[in-house]
Structure 1
Amino acid sequence: MSGRASRSTRRRRRAPRVAFALLAALACAASSSVASATAAVALDLDTMLSRSVDAFFGEVRAVRSEAFEGEPWTVVTITVERWLRSGGAPVEDASDELDRRPDVELAFLGGDAPGVARRSVAGMPTLTLGERVLLLSYGVGTRYASNLVGFDQGLFRLVDDAWTDDDGRTLGLGADGILELGVGASTASANDVLDAVIARLSQVGVAP
């Protein structure tokens, strides 16, 4: 009798350890999910272009926070000045596309929204009011941790008539007039670079 009671007691004492191990495993899985969302493999220019569904140039007009499915999100409104690719297809009539979609919203995981815990995501790109940017997006209206190709790699800021990414590289035209991304890229005018981006988008197509 006492032996059975002792074994039963041992079983009861082990149960919390099993529960703790399960909770720890779930926590690790959640941590891995967050880590995978913030880690991005470095992409070359053609890969970034081929993975973009929407590509456009515009000005940041609004930044707000909202709660969605229990998580805080930062929503950025861009007033588009020029479409380069829309829905995976080249933009044949730029004025018609601007009339159809003059403003777009991109959502980024993280921020401080009412009713949910504040969340900070390492490496998340930040956009500020009035900034003019060239964006390569996985598709306006989709919700990934970051809507930009390569997490933050599909973001180029217009500074002194040159497109620059957050690693300090310039998107410009090389000596042979070919679109390049790198410190050594020559800085043609911003509009000339956009023309070159459109041409390269047509060449690389859309990744399956």
Structure 2
Amino acid sequence: MNSYVAWGIFGIISGFLAAFADVPLVMPKQGENIKLAGVCPWWADATSKRFRVSFWLSFLGQPGGYIVMWLLADLISKENTSLACILKVVTLIGCYTGLMCHVVFCLKPLLYQKLCRKMPDDESNEVIKVIDPIFNPPMYLAGVMLWFGIAVIVIAAILTGALPVPKWCAFLNPIGSLIVLMPLKKCGVRIIGALGFGFVLLSVLLIIAANAVVF
């Protein structure tokens, strides 16, 4: 087993940790997602533990996903250095914006819980909303990089032969995870985080590519 395969296995484990990190951010029993801006009223009654657990799962899970992306870029560089460089840049941007976003997703509910006990709801909402203008630009940047940037580069690498894997592997990316998970959500199934599951799919891609590349 070469090191790429070993890191791919590590990435699968890390990806599932990151995917389960999103679960505590969803409203218990009713499945209401965390709002990207403003506040969710159910935060006031939720236990603070769920948001702390969410942070630590993400903190432990995300790095494995970024290592996998970097190693995919390393494999791509053997055939296409331009795509590899772009993927490395996207990985670096996603690395610091991705975890920062999850930190804010966890901090906002914790702050709201403290504030709503000491001031009216309207005032608590206004205080939390002050965070949004600062937080939104890196959040949107992370979304573009980690969802679309990674998917486009990986698909391009597969279709051009820079990654010598079967063409169906083009679905092994964060967009592919949406294709798998969203129908389940529509059917009322509680799902894990789509981006974290996308990390899992990228890890599977790394394992397949590592076995296909001649070192």
Tell me the TM-score normalized by structure 1. 0.22
For the pair shown, which has the larger CA radius of gyration, 1 or 2? 1
Tell me the TM-score normalized by structure 2. 0.21
Q: Which has the higher contact order (CA 8 A, sep 6+)?
A: 2
**Would you tell me which structure has more helix in proportion to its own residues?**
2
